[in-house]
Amino acid sequence: MNYLQKNQRHTLLKLNKDFSKMEHIEEKLLSKIYEESLTIKNLPKDLSEEEKTFYYKWTNKSEIEEITFEGIETKFAYQKVTAFCEFSTRRVFDQNTGTLLPKEDRLNTSSVEVIFVESDNDIYAIVFSSDFYDLRRVKRLIGEHVIEPLSAIHQTDSELFHWLFYKSIKEEVNLNEDIVLDNINGFTGTIVSEEDQFEGTSIQTAELIITKAFITNGYPITSIKIDLQMEIGTMSFYLNEVSDGKELKIVIQKNSSINNMMNSEDVEYIIPIYVFFYLIPEVINLYKVDEGNFLSNAKNKFLSEIGLEVIKTIMAKNDILVTDIK
C-alpha cells in the first residue's frame, strides 16, 4: 500500500475539443510561451523587451504514461509538466534613486506542477494548487480560451453534499459494491450571504447537533470532507462545490492510500487521477441515480427527522417545556 506523504491541493480544468488526445498537448501546447508586460506608468523609453516582459513556459516535461486501476476497465494516459512563471515583485523602483530596478532585482518566479490526463477522448489539466494567482498564471499559459466548463461527471453542488450527509446519518454508507462512506470529518457552508461562512471540523461532524441544525435549515453546503474506503485504498479529501462550472478543487489528505504496482514516489500523481477520474464521477453518478427520490421524497422527511432531534436536544439541555414555546 502506498501512502500520500502530505496534504495536496488540486484544481481540475477541462480543455476544449481542440484537444482530444495526449499528442495534442505536445503538438499545440507545450512549446507555447506566454508573455506578460510590466504594467507601470512612465516606463523608460529605452527599456528592452527582455527587461519589461515576464515569461510563462512549460518545463520538466515527462513522457506520456498510462495507468490502470484494479476493478476499473478504463486506461488513463497522462503527462507531467511544470508551469514556470515569472512575475513582478511589489517593489520595482530603487528606494534611493527612484529609478526602475533591473529585471533580476524585481523578479519573482513560481513553479506549479500540472498533470494532463486523457479520459474518454477529453483532455484535462490537474493543477497542483488552488491558489488564485497560481491558477491565473497556469490558465493563461494553457490559454483561457481553450478552457471550457467541466462535464456533468465533475459538477459538484450543495445537493450532492446534503445527500452524502443523508447517507452518513442514515447509516447507508455502502454507496455501491466498492465505495464505502466511512466518515464525514468537516464541511463549510453559507448562511444568508457569501460573507457569512460557517465551518465545522470534527471526526463526528455528521453526528453533531450543530451540524444537523445547519442542514435542517437548508443552508447551502460549499464543501465537504469525506473519508472513502475502496477495495484498493482509502481516500480522505475535501471536495468543493465547482466554481463557475470550470474549476473543481479538492484537498487530498496525508495518509490517503492506494494499492498500486507503481513506484511509491508516483503516488502523489496517481492518487489525484484516481480521485478525479474514478471516485468523484462515481459518487456523482450514484447521487444522480438517487436524485429524483432524494429531492422529492427522502430529503424532506430526513430534514424533519433531524430537525425534531435538534429541537428535542435543545429543549432537554435547557429545561424548556413544550408549553414554553407555544
pLDDT, one tens digit per residue, over 31-62 is: 999 999 998 887 888 889 999 999 999 999 99
Q: How far apart are CA 35 and CA 290, in angstroms?
A: 48
Q: Are strands 75-88 and 233-240 parallel, antiparallel or unpaired?
A: unpaired
Average pLDDT over residues 159-169: 95
Exposed e or buried b for every residue in 248-284, given b needs 16+ CB within 10 A?
bbbbbbeebbbebeeeeeebbbbbbbbbbbbbbbbbb
Question: Predicted confidence band at 261 (pLDDT cuts at 50, 70, 90)?
Answer: low
Q: Which pLDDT belongs to residue 264?
A: 62
Domain-wise residue ranges, the chain: 11-149, 158-317
The model's pTM is 0.93
The answer to whether 71 and 259 have CB atoms below 8 angstroms apart is no
Greater pLDDT, 223 or 263: 223
Q: Which pLDDT belongs to residue 191?
A: 79
- Which tens digits make up the pLDDT trace of 177-218? 999 999 999 999 987 666 667 888 888 888 888 889 899 988
Altogether, the residues listed in the chain come to a count of: 326
**Single-letter residue type at 288:** K
pLDDT beyond 80 at 131: yes
pLDDT beyond 90 at 239: yes
pLDDT beyond 70 at 301: yes
Question: Predicted confidence band at 312 (pLDDT cuts at 50, 70, 90)?
Answer: confident
